[in-house]
Structure 1
Amino acid sequence: MNKQLKAIPKFASESQERAYWESHDSTEHLDWSKAKRVSLPNLKPTTKTISLRLPQHLLDSIKIAANSRDVPYQSLIKVWLQEKLHSH
């Protein structure tokens, strides 16, 4: 049984489109059973610069650990944070 799908309206702005989709069900416009998974291999995650104050001795220890692994210390911090996040 094929359901009659509504046309997706034209929007004057992104905020107008956002407001529309917040109050409407996309299944009125799209047949999600025909959707296909896509891969975006070149998509890079958005990063945000933060300021983190660390005691000097802690930062020195992190830099030593990073140097022994031959990786930048910021990268090592990110790996450790990610590992800790996934272990909980």
Structure 2
Amino acid sequence: MAEKPVVPEFKSREEEAEFWDTHSAADYWDQLEPVQVEVDPELADKVAERRKTKRITLRLRECQLEAVKRIAAKKDIPYQTLIRSWVAEAIRREEREK
């Protein structure tokens, strides 16, 4: 049976980063220790807000998607953000008309 690999001692954070870039933590799982991390409150708020969203699949014609991407590029925003803003705007408009 093959011997389990051992996490080496690292001389620097850069050396450690390079190691983990080329190795799977799954091979060393039983040797890793849990650590406490503190998350920036602003980041925690963004993560919490993102959890309120739901991923969907939307089929568009290629020409429609390319047009959205062009418009988004002119506005210097991601095209998905532009689509979400258009959907939100249309919802507000429809709800006002009721």
The two structures have a TM-score, normalised by structure 2, of 0.45
- Of structures 1 and 2, the one scoring higher in RCO (CA 8 A, sep 6+) is 1
Match of 1:64 in 2: 70
- Alignment RMSD: 1.2
More helix by share: 2
Whole-angstrom distance in 2 between the partners of 1:74 and 1:67: 11
Whole-angstrom distance in 1 between the partners of 2:57 and 2:74: 24
Paired residues in the alignment total: 47
Whole-angstrom distance in 1 between the partners of 2:74 and 2:53: 26
Query: In the TM superposition, what whole-angstrom CA distance separates every residue of 1:19-61 from its partner, at most 9, and x where no partner exists?
Result: xxxxxxxxxxxxxxxxxxxxxxx35151111111100000000
Gaps of 5+ in 1: 1-41
Whole-angstrom distance in 2 between the partners of 1:71 and 1:79: 11
Whole-angstrom distance in 1 between the partners of 2:91 and 2:72: 19
The two structures have a TM-score, normalised by structure 1, of 0.50
Aligned-residue sequence identity (percent) comes to: 36
Gaps of 5+ in 2: 1-44
